[in-house]
Structure 1
Amino acid sequence: MPLTLASLVHHSALKLVVLAGGDRLDATVRWVHTSELDDPGPYLEGGELLLTTGLKLAVDDPDSLRGYVRRLADAGVVGLGFGVGVGHDTVPPALVDAAAELDLPLLEVPRRTPFIAISKAVSAAVAADQYQAVTAGFEAQRDLTRAALAPDGTSALLGRLAHHLNGWAALYDASGAVLAAAPEWAGRRAARLTGEIDRLRDKPAPASAAVAGPAGTEDRVELQSLGTARRARGFLAVGTEERLDTPARYVVHAAVALLTLSLEQSRALQDTEQRLAAALLRMLLTGESEHARTVAGRLYGDLLTQPVRLLVVEPAELTAKPAKPATAARPAVRTGRPAVALDSVALLAERAEAAGARSGEPVIAVREGPRLVVLAADGSAVLKACTDFAEADDTLAAGLSAAVPVAELPDANRQAERALAVALRRGRNLVEHGEVGAGSVLPLLGDDAVRAFAEGLLRPLREHDATSRGDLVASLQAWLSRHGQWDAAASDLGVHRHTLRYRMRRVEEILGRSLDDPDVRMELWLAMKTLPPGE
């Protein structure tokens, strides 16, 4: 317990007498200092009990004494001890009045009580308080360590941490999602701090920040990033009504150390699981589902025995041609990958693992370079968490397959790749396989390569129309739209059918292609749709 003026007054050996400021005796005494200076303020830090015999004080000048007391109060002195029997037989009345006016505790120190006795008493009490804080910190560390070794170590640790702080605690994953909180009601409060977590994530780990609690609360919240690498692997938040004192900080530091150690120790296991997951995924995508089941054993529960869906994710800014869907673990090498997009891919991978841990649902998430492939059960919470994340992040493009049995994963891979290609081409965050076959093929013609082909194919006809009469482009479009029906197309154009036949022969001569070829007619029609008249 911190030392107070009241503790010193009640110390039977010191015989201190309170002359003023009796209602301020609960002030904490950080140290004791002796000075006969008229202004000792520059040599103080605040929180001291100042001792003096008043040898240099103008005891007959009330204004001078009032200024002296004011300077002590401004310097943060918590009390003034005046030793009698040396320079003065009693405490000067004007000093008592000044102390009472400014509500500064004034204590009379009898001659038989040497100042060194007060110093020893303060020093012993401060040392005892520090020892108690260290002891409490060690005991709390042992308590947290026992909790961390429990079957549900993380939740148990957070519960004990909240107990020691008389507040609440929450653990976040690297993406800022709440993994666990204690007490249970704190989860909703912790979820409202994701913006602060995002700001802390920009700082190299380990980092910390003190912030105000969520609106409507009086919490003081301290955030700590977890991990020894530059990039945080998680975050800890603690909320209390009062500012953390020294023992409380010992407790928080112990919790940070235990959580960080747990994260770092699991890294090797996670790396091994990642390599196994990548190998299993390659087997599944090459049609070796039975071998994959044998290798996986019970590691992924019933994931490989039920309908699954495949999610393929890349940074949306990649503009090169999509990788061929031979395997998910060998993406094409590309350039121009913004760091923010790669971070989003990494966060999505961690979100998949965290969602699986929370829901107890198995998931295979394999990341190599800028590409992430997630295999999850159809309708699972893991799949929803991943698709929601991808759909909300404009730096990502994702393709999602239909639900298939594990034996048909090669087909699902091709579906996801085609959906991803559409997402990249259309500037969409997420495209499902079912959307690829729905609607019209025309929006796909906006690709620059398709437009370049259309421009090259139609350029001779447009140049002819610009310099000669004939309206070949409009005539060709009318003829194609009428499926080669001469009378109907000529009627649309308002010309004789023989005129239209002449124009189509000129089209064939200029292009060097026969309109009897269905492939030629198809290419010309798509070119017309890609570049409507007037473009």
Structure 2
Amino acid sequence: MHVRDLLLTDGLDLRPRVAGGPGRLDRTVSWCAPTELMDPTPFLSGNALVLTHGMGLNFRDPRTWDAYVERLGDVPVSALVVGLGVAHEATPPGLVDACDAHGLPLLELPGHVPLLQVIRHVWQTLGAERHAEMRAGWELADECTRLAAGGASLGTVVERISRVVDARLTVVDSAGYQLVAAGTVRKRSARTTLNLPTGDAHRFRLLIEGMDANVVVHPLLGPVAAVLAMQLAGTLGSNSPMHSREAARFIEALYERRGTTRAQLRALAEDAGFDAATGWGAVVIAAPGDMDAAQLRAISWRVRVELGENFGTARFMEGRGRTTVVVERPTGARPLTDLVRELFREAPEFGVDVLTAGDMDELSLALRLVGRTAEPGVRDTARVDLAAIVDGLPSTGLAAMAHRLLEPLQREPSGTLIRTLDAFLRHSGNTRAVCDELFIHRNTLAYRVRRIEELLDHDLADGSFRATCLLALSVAGLSRRA
């Protein structure tokens, strides 16, 4: 209830002697505090409605009235009600002036209405409001229970709660990492936290931003907190999917590309919320064999949230012992590998493959090739290898991967390094044959080979990598033999 509601209540006959500052009559009343003390503030808490006959308030010095009202305003109380006819026939002018100076609402209660009648009305109204809040809380919990039992994701449940309370809700873990969020935040909004009863192993909290300050959080959200806790326990500790059905269909199609046309793949990407014309990135997270499944899910969730904040759209799918996260790669975004390395700096036991792709064909091919091993550490697997050449024939994604491998050499406008690599590979590294074809000195050739190795970040003495480069040059149409 609000102070204004008291003025509109039949039978109380309350009169506003001082309306207070702007919006003060709309302030919430949380409880009643009848008192005749000269300084009741040690026993008051916020939004109390103070009621007094003023039996101990017989001041002549206006500074004493000012100090009395100032202390009430610092609590702050909702309003001050003065009952007339017992100690004062009229409200003392000093009290009126002090309330007006400090913007505290001052209400006069005529002598024929006892203070007990006001107190009884306030407590009855507050009791009815609390009952309505508790009933709304249990009804919301019942609705969320039915959603969860029907297979709705945690994100869907949180989104439903956010719509009911008209606030932004965020589930965070003990380290403060966001797991799921829904709703919007108002300007200058109240912020509070509700602990979820999830036990000692995994502690989670519900962060509430923008909720109406007049709404008591616990009666409304207390019951649904238990539902969220049970759903978290089931989500992190069982085989229930955390990913959306649309995301799962899209990522499964990427892994099992054969038989799926480009148009079908594009439609699946758009159903999952992606812009199918963008560039792509993906992160494949594998946990050690002895790791708790809940721990993998928790860190996978953190990664998905961080990537979503940096790349706009992130979707993920769980597999046995590993999670795949696919993201869009907008222009100017932070390098994917740098972000992933930072995310896993404190979790070196995970095996993480990071890849980038220019289109869905390349993304599909790259995903089918990653995760062959699960060694700890973060690996940038964007480079095409011999297995990709063999597995990808014929594939438009293969051509894209081949160009990506050779891209550092193609940045040189003259094409000198590409021609040198092509000749070096075709002649199996024979220095005389290469120098004769390119008409260069052997020292020049040695310099160019070192430069090529630096740009490709690989040793050309590696026979498998040399074969990969040779095939990549052919696929990309950059070899004289092509």
> Under a length normalisation based on structure 1, what TM-score does the superposition of the two structures give?
0.46
1:110-509 map, 5 Å: 110-170=110-170, 181-182=181-182, 228-232=198-202, 237-240=207-210, 242-243=212-213, 245-246=215-216, 248-265=217-234, 269-270=238-239, 363-365=319-321, 374=322, 381=326, 393-394=344-345, 395-396=348-349, 398=351, 416=373, 420=375, 429-430=378-379
Cα offsets for 1:38-65 (capped at 9, x unmatched): 3333333343333333334335444444
Which secondary structure does the structure 2 equivalent of 1:80 belong to? strand
Which secondary structure does the structure 2 equivalent of 1:416 belong to? coil
% same residue: 24
Q: Give the whole-Å Cα distance in 2 for the aligned partners of 1:131 and 1:347.
A: 37
Size of the aligned set, in residue pairs, is: 325
Q: Give the whole-Å Cα distance in 1 for the aligned partners of 2:99 and 2:212.
A: 30
CA drift of 1:122 comes to 1.7
1:227 and 1:263 in contact (8 A); partners too: no
Cα offsets for 1:50-83 (capped at 9, x unmatched): 3333334335444444444344434534333333
The 1:18–1:151 alpha-carbon spacing in structure 2 relative to 1, beyond 3 Å, is same
Which protein is bigger by CA-based radius of gyration? 1
The 1:126–1:120 alpha-carbon spacing in structure 2 relative to 1, beyond 3 Å, is same
Report the equivalent of 1:280. Answer: none
1:175 and 1:351 in contact (8 A); partners too: no
Q: Cα RMSD over matched residues? A: 5.4
Which secondary structure does the structure 2 equivalent of 1:25 belong to? helix
Cα offsets for 1:349-388 (capped at 9, x unmatched): 7789999xx85757332xxxxxxxx598xxx949x9x999
The 1:345–1:265 alpha-carbon spacing in structure 2 relative to 1, beyond 3 Å, is closer
1:143 and 1:160 in contact (8 A); partners too: no
The 1:352–1:33 alpha-carbon spacing in structure 2 relative to 1, beyond 3 Å, is closer
Report the equivalent of 1:456. Answer: none
Report the equivalent of 1:504. Answer: none
Unaligned runs of 5+ in 1: 187-212, 272-299, 316-328, 332-341, 366-373, 401-408, 439-535
The 1:416–1:244 alpha-carbon spacing in structure 2 relative to 1, beyond 3 Å, is farther
- State the AA in 2 paired with 1:18: P
Report the equivalent of 1:16. Answer: 14
1:25 and 1:105 in contact (8 A); partners too: yes
Report the equivalent of 1:30. Answer: 30
- State the AA in 2 paired with 1:21: A
Which secondary structure does the structure 1 equivalent of 2:239 belong to? helix
Unaligned runs of 5+ in 2: 241-250, 259-283, 308-313, 330-335, 354-367, 388-482
Report the equivalent of 1:44. Answer: 44
1:399 and 1:432 in contact (8 A); partners too: no
CA drift of 1:161 comes to 0.9
Cα offsets for 1:129-174 (capped at 9, x unmatched): 2222212212222232233334434343223111112123456799
Q: Give the whole-Å Cα distance in 1 for the aligned partners of 2:49 and 2:285.
A: 68
